Amino acid sequence: MSLFSYAAAQGYIRARLARLLDRATWDRLLGARTPAELRQLLLETAVAPAVLRDGTIVLQILRGEACSAGRALARFLPRGSRELVAWYNRRFEIENLKTVLRAVHYHLERSRALSSLVPLQSGWRWEALLEVGSVAGVIDQVRESPYARPLEHAMERYTQEHRLFYLEVAIDLFYFQRLVRLIEAESGANEADARKFLGRWIAIENLLWAYRYRIYGRMTPEEIINYTLHRAFAVGLDTIRRVALGSPLAIEAGRLGLQPSVGLSEAETLTEMEHQAERERFELASAIISRPLARLGGILGYLWLLDGEVHDLTVLVEGKASGLSSAEIARRFLRAA
Amino acid sequence: MSILAPEPMLEANLFVLEADVEVVTAALARMEALHLEDSVPEGWKPSPEWTELADRYGRLRARLDEMFKVLGSKPLPQSPAAGDLYPGRDWRDIEARLAGPEETIQAFERQLKEAEQESERLKLSESQIELLLPLDMPVEGLRQLQYQAVSVGIMPSENIPRVAEALFQIPFILIPLESRKDRTLLLAASSTDHAAILDRALKSAFFEPIALPPEALGRPTEALKSLRRKAEELQVRLKDLDHRRKEMARELWPELSSLWRRATADGKLAEAIRRFPKYREISLISGWVPASELEKVRKAVESAAGHPIAMEVLKADPSRQSVPSLVRSPRWLEPFEELVTTFGLSSYNEIDPTPIVTVSFLIMYGMMFGDLGHGLLLLVAGLWLRRRHLDFGVLVAAAGASGMLFGLLYGAAFGQPIVHPAWLRPLEGMWTILAAAVAGGVLLLNIGFGLNLANAWRSKDWPRLLLKKNGVVGIALYWFVGIALYKALLAGGPGVGFRVPPKSVLLPIPVLCALLWMHEPLARWIWHHPSRPRGEAVVTGFFELFEAVTGYLSNSLSFIRLGAFAVAHEGLSALVAGYSKGRGGWLVLLLGTVLLVGFEGVIVGIQAIRLEYYEFFGRFFEGRGVPFEPLSLRTGGNHASVGVRV
C-alpha cells in the first residue's frame, strides 16, 4: 500500500525536480559581477518568482513554496509517514511564530517583521498576530494551536525575567520531542530512512544546542540538561551529561563522525560543525534523489534539497551584496563548488 | 470567457485626488474586482499618516477582540461594515463609542480576574494543606526549616523526569503530589548546601513555586476548614460575576459588533491606501481588473467620487509582469479543481488544465476500477460525503460513476460476469486492454504536447514552441521514434521479429535529434535568447536529448499500468466472488468488497494522480500562478492586509 502512496509523491517530485537550479545555472549565477546582474540572471531561472518587480529578492517566497511542497507531499503518504512529514513541515510555522514573538518582544518595525515571515498558506493570521501588543497576547491568540501548552508553561519564567529564550526553547523542545516520537513510531524501511535523515539531524542539533548553551550561554549543567533533548538517537542523555560536565566539542563531534579541524577554538569549531552538518544533509539529499524515490527518504531528501537551494541562494545574494568574491561565496555553499 | 483560459486581465491605473481616495478605495473594496499591484516605484515609502492609521485600526480591533474575549462572544466576521467608510476620521467616532463599554468591561474584568486568581490560589493552598494533614504541627513551623531547602510548586508533568536527570550531581527528593491537566503539584527538597543547584534545575524546567499560604495558621485540619469556607464564598461570587457577564454581553454585543466590523473594514482600507504611491494631491491606485469588469469598476469609482476619474488601462504583458490569474470554473468543475491546485495554480499565460484533468482522471480511474457494484458503492460513499458538505465527495462519486460505466464495458458487478461485456473482460482481453491503455496514454501525452504549444504561443516563447523537447521538434521526434519502433517490432505481426523501418521514417530522426540537441545555441542565434556558454550548452544538450528520448518511451509505457490494474481488479474481484460461495460466504464477500473498494480504490486514485502529475503535467504545466485576490472588506479578504488569512 505504502509503495503505491509513494508513487504519487514520486510523480510530484519528479515533475518538480527540473525546477531546482542545475550546476551550470549556479556557475552562471556565481559569475554575476553585480547584484543587479544577479537579479537579472535569477529572473531567467525557475526561482524568478522570488524577484519582485521592484528588484527586491525575497527568498522567503521560495521557503513558502518549499513549505507548500512539504504539505502537498504529506497528503500523498500513508498515515504514519504523513503525520511525520506534516509535523516536520511545521518547522516553517514555528519559525514564523518565533519571528512574531521576537517582533512583539523587541517592538520591531512591522514592515521588517513582515518581510521576515515565510508566506505560508496555513490559516494562521500572522499579520494580525504582529498587531497584538504583548507576548502574552500572542500566546493567547495561538491558544488553539499545539504550541499553546509549551508556551504557557514557559510564560511564568518569561514574565519574571523578560527573556524570549524560555519561550523559544519550550517550543523547540516540544517540536523535537514529538518529531522523535513520530520517527520512533515508523517501522521497516521508512523507519530506517527517518532515522538516517531526521534522526541524525536531530542528534546533531541536540549536540550543538548543548554546546551553544555551554559556550555562548555559560549555562550550568542542570540548565543544559533541561534545555536539550534526552532522547535524540545518537545524542542521548549520556552525551548531554558529558557535554554539561565539560567534554570537548572536538571529541563529541568526532563520535558522531563529524570532522573538526585542529587548532580552532570551541566557538570556531561550533561554527565549523554547524556548516559541516548542513553540508552533510545536503549531500545525503543529493545522493538519494538520484535513486528511485519510493520511500520516505526520497521525500525528505527532496525537501532538504529545497532547503539547501534557499540556503545557497541566500549566501549568494548576501555575498554579492557584500562584495565577496565568487570563490568566497562558493566556499560557503552547501553544494560542492 | 473560456473554461480553459484564465480570465483576461487589464492593468488599471487610477489617478485619484487625495480628497477622493477614501471613497474610491471603499468602492473598489466593495466591488472586489481589483487585485492591487504588489510593487511600488523605486525609492517610494508608504505614507506615514496612513501607516499610523492602519496601525491605529489594528489596535482598535485588538481592543475590541479583547473585550469580546472577556464577554465570551464573537463578532460576525463575514459581514462587512454597513454605511460609508471614511478611514481617515472614522477612528475618532469608534474610539469615542468604544470608551464607555471598554471602561465597564475592564472594570468587570479586573473583578473577575481577582476572583479567579483568588479561587485558584485557594485551591492550591487547599491542596498543599491537605498534604500536610498527617502532620500534627502548626503550618507556620514548616517555614522555619534550617537544614532542608524545600520548594512546593507546579511544573509541566513531562518535565519532572527531566529535572530528576538534571539533578544528577546532588542528592534530592522529588514528590509529585497531585496532577491537574498537564501540570503537577510537586514537592522538591535537598540539603541547604545544594539549594542553588536545586533552584536552577527547577527553574529551568519551568517550575512555578508556591509560597505556603499566609492565612494558613494553626494545625492543618483547622487551616483547611478555614480555607474551604473562603473558597465556598468565592464560588458564589464567581457565579454572580458569570451572570453579570452574560447580561453585559447581551446588552453590548450589537454595538461592539458594529464597531468591530467598522474598524476591520477601515483598517483594510487604510492598509491599502498607505501603499498607494502619491504625487502632490494625486494618489495612484494600480492593480489588475478582469477585462469583463472594467466598465463596472469605472462606473463604481466615478459614482463614488461624484465626477470622472482619470484611468489608464494597459494590456497585460505577462512576459515582464506578474499578472494574477483568475480561473472561473463552472460550478460542476469546482470539486475537481483541487486535482490541479494541489500541484499548483495555472499562471496567467497557462491554459488551465482542470477540465482535461477531470475527464482524463475519471477515465483512468474507471478503467482501473471497472466494476458496476464496486463503482456503485463508491458513488454512494461519495454522495454521502457530499451530503456532509465535503466537496471531495463529488470527486469520489464521479470516480464511482466512472467505475460503473467501465463495469458495463467489462460486464462485471462485484467480480461476477453478470452481463455481456459491451467491450471486453480484462482477463480475457489482456493484450487488448494493455494496448488500449498505452494508446490512451499516447493520446493524453499528445494533448499535453498540444497544450504546451498553446502555452508557448500565449507567452510568445518561440524556442519552447519550436525547438524544445515538448515543442514542434520534440513532438515530431516523438512520433518518428514511435513509428520507427512500431515498424521495427510490431508491424509484421506476432512472431515476425525485427524489421528495418523504411528510410522515410528513419532519416528525419537524426535531423530532429540534432535540432533538439542544439536547441539552446539555435535559440540564441535566432532569437538572441539567453543561454549557457556554447560548450556547456552542447554538453548538457546531449544529455537532455538522451533524457527526452528515454522520457518519451517511459512516459508512454507508464500508462500500461491502467490496463494492468484493470486486469488485477477483475482478478481480485473474481477471487473474492469465488471464495464467497461456501459457508459464511457473505462475510468473505463483505470483507473482500470493503478491502477492494477501500484499498484498491485509493491505490488507483493515487496511480491516476501520478500519471496526471508526472507524465501529463510534465509536458506543459508549470503551475506557478499568482492567485487573483481582490481588495475586499471581508475578513479574510486579501491584499489590503497582506499575509492575513482566516
- Closest to B477 (Cα-Cα) out of B453, B505, B454, B503: B505
Q: Which three cell numbers, joined as nine digits, stand for B444? A: 493524453
Contact between B265 and B85 under an 8 Å Cβ cutoff? The reply is yes
Domain that holds residue A266: 186-290
Best residue of B286, B469, B520, B614 to probe chain A, by most A CBs closer than 10 Å = B614
Q: Is residue A20 part of a domain?
A: no
The residue in chain A having the minimum alpha-carbon distance to the alpha carbon of residue B595 is: A1
Check B205 against A226: CB less than 8 A apart: yes
Give chain A's domain count. 1
Chain A contact set for B41 (CB, 8 A) = 54
Check A119 against B643: CB less than 8 A apart: yes
Q: Which of B40, B165, B642 sits opposite A54 (nearest CB)?
A: B40
Contact between A285 and A301 under an 8 Å Cβ cutoff? The reply is yes
Q: Coil, helix or strand for A109?
A: coil
Give the pLDDT confidence of B208-219 residue by residue, as tens digits: 887 777 777 788
Mean pLDDT, chain B, whole residue set: 87
Would you say residue B637 has pLDDT above 50? no
Q: Is residue A156 part of a domain?
A: no
Q: Which of B38, B203, B643 sits opposite A117 (nearest CB)?
A: B643
* Structure confidence at residue A76 as a pLDDT band (50, 70, 90): confident
Q: Which of B204, B610, B642 sits opposite A8 (nearest CB)?
A: B610
Would you say residue B80 has pLDDT above 80? no
pLDDT of residue B184: 87
Q: Report the distance separating Cα B377 and Cα B384, nearest Å.
A: 11
pLDDT of residue B645: 23
pLDDT of residue B644: 26
Chain A contact set for B183 (CB, 8 A) = 153
CA A299, A300, A301, A303 torsion-angle sign: positive
Segment B521-525 shows an average pLDDT of 88
pLDDT of residue B640: 33
Q: Which three cell numbers, joined as nine digits, stand for A325? A: 568574491
* Cα B554 versus chain centre, distance: 32
SS (H, E, C) B125-184: HHHHHHHCCCCCCCHHHHHHCCCEEEEEEEEEHHHHHHHHHHCCCCCCEEEEEEEECCEE
Contact between B644 and A126 under an 8 Å Cβ cutoff? The reply is yes
Give the pLDDT confidence of A145-164 residue by residue, as tens digits: 999 999 999 998 999 999 99
Give the pLDDT confidence of B178-191 residue by residue, as tens digits: 787 788 888 888 98
Q: Report the distance separating Cα A111 and Cα B275, nearest Å.
A: 12
Check B532 against A227: CB less than 8 A apart: no
Check B38 against A28: CB less than 8 A apart: no
Q: Report the distance separating Cα A315 and Cα A332, nearest Å.
A: 7
Q: Which three cell numbers, joined as nine digits, stand for B462? A: 518561440
Would you say residue A284 has pLDDT above 70? yes
* Structure confidence at residue B470 as a pLDDT band (50, 70, 90): very high
Would you say residue B402 has pLDDT above 70? yes
pTM as predicted = 0.72
Give the whole-number percent of chain B exceeding pLDDT 70: 93
Check A225 against B613: CB less than 8 A apart: no
Q: Which of A52, A72, A149 sits opposite B182 (nearest CB)?
A: A149
B103 or B585: which carries more pLDDT confidence? B103
Q: Other C-beta atoms within 10 Å of B89: how many? A: 10
pLDDT of residue B135: 64
Would you say residue A71 has pLDDT above 50? yes
Chain A contact set for B536 (CB, 8 A) = 24
The residue in chain B having the minimum alpha-carbon distance to the alpha carbon of residue A230 is: B162
- Closest to B323 (Cα-Cα) out of B10, B40, B32: B10
Q: Report the distance separating Cα B386 and Cα B366, nearest Å.
A: 20
Segment A90-112 shows an average pLDDT of 92
* Structure confidence at residue A139 as a pLDDT band (50, 70, 90): very high
Contact between B191 and A255 under an 8 Å Cβ cutoff? The reply is no
Mean pLDDT, chain A, whole residue set: 91
Give the whole-number percent of chain A exceeding pLDDT 70: 98
Would you say residue B636 has pLDDT above 70? no
DSSP assignment of B425-474: -TTTTHHHHHHHHHHHHHHHHHHHHHHHHHHHHHTT-HHHHHTSTTSHHH
The domain locations on chain B are 9-101+245-315, 139-216, 337-625
Check A123 against B646: CB less than 8 A apart: yes
pLDDT of residue B183: 86
Give the whole-number percent of chain B exceeding pLDDT 90: 50
Would you say residue B72 has pLDDT above 60? yes
Best residue of B162, B538, B615, B642 to probe chain A, by most A CBs closer than 10 Å = B162
Nearest-5° Cα angle at B212, B209 to B213:
120
Would you say residue A179 has pLDDT above 70? yes
* Structure confidence at residue A85 as a pLDDT band (50, 70, 90): very high
All residues at 6 or more sequence positions from A83 whose CB lies less than 8 Å from its CB, including other chains: A182
B509 CB burial (10 A radius; 0-12, 13-18, 19+): middle
Q: Report the distance separating Cα B257 and Cα B77, nearest Å.
A: 9
pLDDT of residue B492: 67
Would you say residue B3 has pLDDT above 80? no
pLDDT of residue A1: 47
The conformation of residue B335, written as its DSSP 8-state character, comes to G
Would you say residue B440 has pLDDT above 50? yes
- Interface confidence, given as ipTM, is 0.85
pLDDT of residue B598: 87
Check A54 against B610: CB less than 8 A apart: no
Would you say residue A285 has pLDDT above 50? yes
DSSP H or E segment with residue B288 = strand B282-290
DSSP assignment of B354-370: HHHHHHHHHHHHHHHT-
Check A157 against B203: CB less than 8 A apart: yes
Check B39 against A52: CB less than 8 A apart: yes
Segment B560-586 shows an average pLDDT of 88
Would you say residue B264 has pLDDT above 60? yes
- Residue whose C-alpha cell is 527547577: B202
DSSP H or E segment with residue A95 = helix A91-105
Q: Which of A28, A125, A149 sits opposite B646 (nearest CB)?
A: A125
Would you say residue A134 has pLDDT above 70? yes
Check B618 against A170: CB less than 8 A apart: no
Shortest distance, CA B329 to any CA of chain A (angstroms):
22
Q: Cα–Cα distances in Å, from B533 out to A18, A37, B521, B529? A: 20, 16, 9, 12
Contact between A288 and A51 under an 8 Å Cβ cutoff? The reply is no
DSSP H or E segment with residue B245 = helix B220-273
CA B456, B459, B463, B466 torsion-angle sign: positive
Check B614 against A14: CB less than 8 A apart: yes
Q: Is residue A265 part of a domain?
A: yes
Would you say residue B339 has pLDDT above 50? yes
A vs B, Cβ pairs < 8 A, gives 141
A317 or B536: which carries more pLDDT confidence? A317
Shortest distance, CA B221 to any CA of chain A (angstroms):
31
CATH number of the domain located at residue range(s) B139-216 in this protein:
3.30.70.2750
Q: Report the distance separating Cα B352 and Cα B317, nearest Å.
A: 18
* Structure confidence at residue A2 as a pLDDT band (50, 70, 90): low
CA Rg, chain B, in Å?
36
Segment B282-301 shows an average pLDDT of 93
B576 or B532: which carries more pLDDT confidence? B576
Q: Is residue A38 part of a domain?
A: no
Lowest mean pLDDT among A105-109, A278-282, B388-392: B388-392
pLDDT of residue B495: 64
Would you say residue A275 has pLDDT above 50? yes
- Closest to A257 (Cα-Cα) out of A184, A196, A330, A189: A196
pLDDT of residue B496: 65
